[in-house]
């Protein structure tokens, strides 16, 4: 007995002398709602690390490239080479990160008595992800789990990557990851095709069965590959006179009346052919990110556009690139400024027209959600001249149509850290009378800038991007679902649930404070506010925003509502069962215990409403 007591006293003494968590660690853990109090951090050859078995050898190693067990093939490169001792690690520790060429251990940990001990050979960096991208994945594997998560994210879906994938598998993966809406590359289904149409209809059905809404994502002035091939006369032109096939997009001249009518007819057919929940009009503006200094990418220079401009301003915009003309852009700035303003105005008028047309589809399908994806021009103010983007002019239009304004951060800022979303939100706040209609789109892609430790955002960097975005905006979208690394999927939903506090109370109760509805991991029966709780799955409960006290109760989970793709406002017990109150900007989906078949799935009308369930 004395031996056991002495061990406890020594452990308590050790914990008392451990330093507080580094800010990088604290930010990482809180970004996915993990309680930091159960983690002991060890670093290098600190006295605590040595006492627990991490001993520096006389040998040293220079570290620049590392490997991690969560993705051994991933290229992880530190910005600065660091020379450190080669460490001997205790047998109980599992090594997660090693120096690429020698295998020297760099990060390791273990769990003991409900606590996780984690060691790194070097400081982790101020942001928490500069050297060890998968720290969070490691501590989760060792037993520290997120205390709450959200299921309100959007994600973009490029069908060309996934046409052979099983729709049910995809939908299940997305919903478990916190996805509430998927935006499908509709241009790949522009022309009817029996086989492809059948696959998309199966995907939409699978998503609806998982309480996921499906949006038609269109990318005007790109229409479709076949449309480009069939109508060379309507192809947009660059300032160098070439067809505007830029990157993957093949741009059409939307200002041409005949082209406009043909696209409108095609959109009518697309919208009625599938059971869409919304439409996303994405990136309707002009090229390019290099601006007018690169004529081979600068649009629009279709002869029809040039005539319209000349009729209004008295000169052909082609003169801007004619070295013999006094209006050449290197000789004077005024003519180019006139064209840039005209170009921004043309983009704005096209966006407003097409947004109005999308809103008209609500007559046949009430609750159809409308989204405008628009490049940021407030944080990167060069985007107006480069692309013709003008958020200030468009946000009032999207608010008038009750449409979401989805801000896309341009490639020029992808190398900046997660805090940029706070600044982007600050710059858009004065423009929006309805901030609830603002959203942010995160591009999870390989970056062209020099970035560390990975070319594409993953691990701690990815998680912090989602968390900062969710703190700054009411809606977050991810581009795209197939670019999210496998190790990141289990943490996406937790990162999307900011401002959550989970506190243990006397008697085993838990108090949850949240700024929006969150899912609390919970197996078995749950009581909330003294009532047996009816909303959630087998392993979680869905709580409304605010403060909720959760207790355990006897019996099985028996939650009649398994999932709800809407904002949960509250529940009331009735003689016949439960009355569930909700709010949704689009039509919503509820899954009940009978929902294993489409007969149990129910669509709910947009707005504030309520529905009844038994039990």
pLDDT at residue 456 above 80?
A: yes
Domains and CATH numbers, the chain: 15-141 (no CATH), 153-237+250-495 (3.20.20.80), 500-613 (no CATH)
Q: What is the mean pLDDT of residues 432-445?
A: 98
Q: Tokens standing for 106?
A: 């760099």
Interior/surface letters 352-379, b for 16+ CB within 10 angstroms, e for the rest? bebbebbbebbeeeebbbbbbbbbbbbb
Q: Could you list the beta-strand ranges (E) of 342-390.
A: 369-375
Is pLDDT above 90 for 258? yes
**Strand-strand pairing, 476-479 and 518-521:** unpaired
- pTM of the full predicted structure? 0.95
Q: Collapsing DSSP states into helix, strand and coil, what is residue 108?
A: strand
How far is Cα 389 from Cα 407, in angstroms, rounded to an integer? Answer: 11
- Split at pLDDT 50, 70, 90, the class of 162 is confident
pLDDT band of residue 615 (cuts 50, 70, 90) is confident
pLDDT of residue 20: 56
Tell me the C-alpha distance between 237 and 240, whole Å.
8
Of 467, 412, 222, give the one whose Cα is nearest residue 478. 467
Query: Are 477 and 282 within 8 A, CB to CB?
Result: no
Nearest 10 degrees: CA dihedral of 556, 560, 565, 566? -110
Model confidence pLDDT, tens digit, residues 458-498:
999 999 999 999 999 999 999 999 999 999 999 999 999 99
| Paired tokens of 181 | 């809406």
Question: Does residue 278 contact residue 268 with C-beta atoms inside 8 Å?
Answer: no
């Amino acid at each position: 007995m004395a031996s056991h007591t002495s061990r406890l006293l020594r452990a308590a003494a050790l914990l008392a002398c451990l330093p507080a968590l580094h800010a990088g660690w604290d930010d990482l853990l809180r970004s996915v709602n993990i309680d930091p109090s159960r983690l002991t951090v060890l670093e290098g050859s600190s006295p605590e690390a040595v006492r627990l078995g991490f001993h520096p050898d006389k040998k040293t190693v220079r570290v620049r490239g590392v490997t991690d067990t969560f993705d051994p093939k991933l290229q992880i490169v530190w910005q600065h080479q660091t020379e450190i001792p080669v460490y001997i690690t205790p047998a109980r520790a599992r090594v997660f990160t090693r120096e690429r060429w020698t295998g020297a251990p760099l990060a390791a940990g273990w769990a003991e008595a409900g606590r996780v001990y984690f060691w790194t050979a070097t400081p982790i960096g101020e942001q928490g992800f500069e050297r060890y991208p998968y720290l969070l994945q490691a501590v989760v594997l060792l037993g520290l789990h997120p205390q709450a998560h959200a299921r309100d994210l959007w994600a973009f879906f490029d069908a060309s990557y996934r046409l052979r994938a099983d729709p049910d598998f995809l939908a299940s993966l997305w919903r478990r990851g916190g996805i509430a809406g998927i935006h499908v590359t509709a241009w790949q289904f522009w022309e009817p095709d029996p086989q492809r149409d059948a696959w998309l209809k199966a995907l939409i059905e699978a998503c609806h069965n998982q309480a996921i809404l499906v949006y038609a994502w269109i990318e005007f002035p790109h229409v479709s590959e076949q449309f480009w091939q069939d109508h060379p006369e309507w192809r947009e032109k660059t300032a160098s006179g070439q067809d505007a096939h830029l990157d993957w997009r093949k741009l059409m001249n939307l200002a041409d009346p005949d082209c406009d009518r043909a696209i409108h007819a095609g959109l009518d057919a697309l919208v009625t052919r599938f059971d869409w929940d919304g439409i996303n009009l994405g990136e309707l503006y002009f090229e390019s990110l290099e601006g007018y200094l690169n004529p081979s990418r600068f649009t629009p220079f279709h002869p029809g556009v040039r005539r319209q401009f000349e009729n209004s301003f008295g000169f052909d915009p082609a003169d801007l690139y004619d070295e013999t003309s006094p209006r050449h852009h290197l000789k004077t700035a005024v003519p180019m400024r006139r064209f840039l303003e005209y170009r921004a105005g043309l983009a704005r008028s096209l966006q407003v027209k097409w947004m109005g047309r999308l809103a008209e589809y609500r007559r046949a399908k009430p609750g159809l959600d409308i989204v405008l994806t628009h490049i940021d021009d407030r944080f990167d103010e060069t985007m107006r001249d480069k692309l013709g983007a003008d958020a200030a002019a468009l946000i009032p239009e999207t608010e008038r149509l009750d449409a979401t304004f989805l801000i896309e951060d341009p490639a020029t800022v992808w190398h900046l850290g997660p805090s940029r979303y706070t600044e982007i939100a600050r710059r858009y706040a004065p423009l929006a009378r309805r901030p609830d209609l603002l959203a942010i789109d995160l591009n999870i892609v390989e970056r062209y800038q020099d970035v560390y430790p990975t070319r594409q955002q993953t691990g701690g960097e990815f998680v912090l991007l989602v968390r900062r975005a969710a703190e700054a905006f009411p809606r977050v979208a991810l581009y795209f679902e197939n670019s999210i690394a496998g190790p990141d999927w289990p943490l996406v939903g937790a990162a999307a649930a900011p401002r959550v506090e989970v506190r243990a109370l006397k008697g085993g109760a838990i108090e949850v404070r949240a700024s929006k509805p969150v899912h609390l991991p919970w197996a078995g029966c749950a009581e909330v506010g003294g009532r047996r709780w009816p909303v959630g799955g087998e392993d979680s409960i869905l709580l409304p925003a605010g403060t909720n006290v959760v207790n355990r109760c006897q019996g099985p989970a028996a939650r009649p509502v398994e999932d709800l793709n809407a904002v949960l406002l509250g529940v009331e017990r009735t003689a016949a069962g439960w009355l569930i109150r909700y709010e949704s900007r689009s039509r919503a989906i509820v899954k009940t215990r009978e929902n294993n078949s489409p007969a149990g799935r129910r669509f709910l009308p947009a707005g504030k409403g309520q529905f009844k369930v038994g039990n």
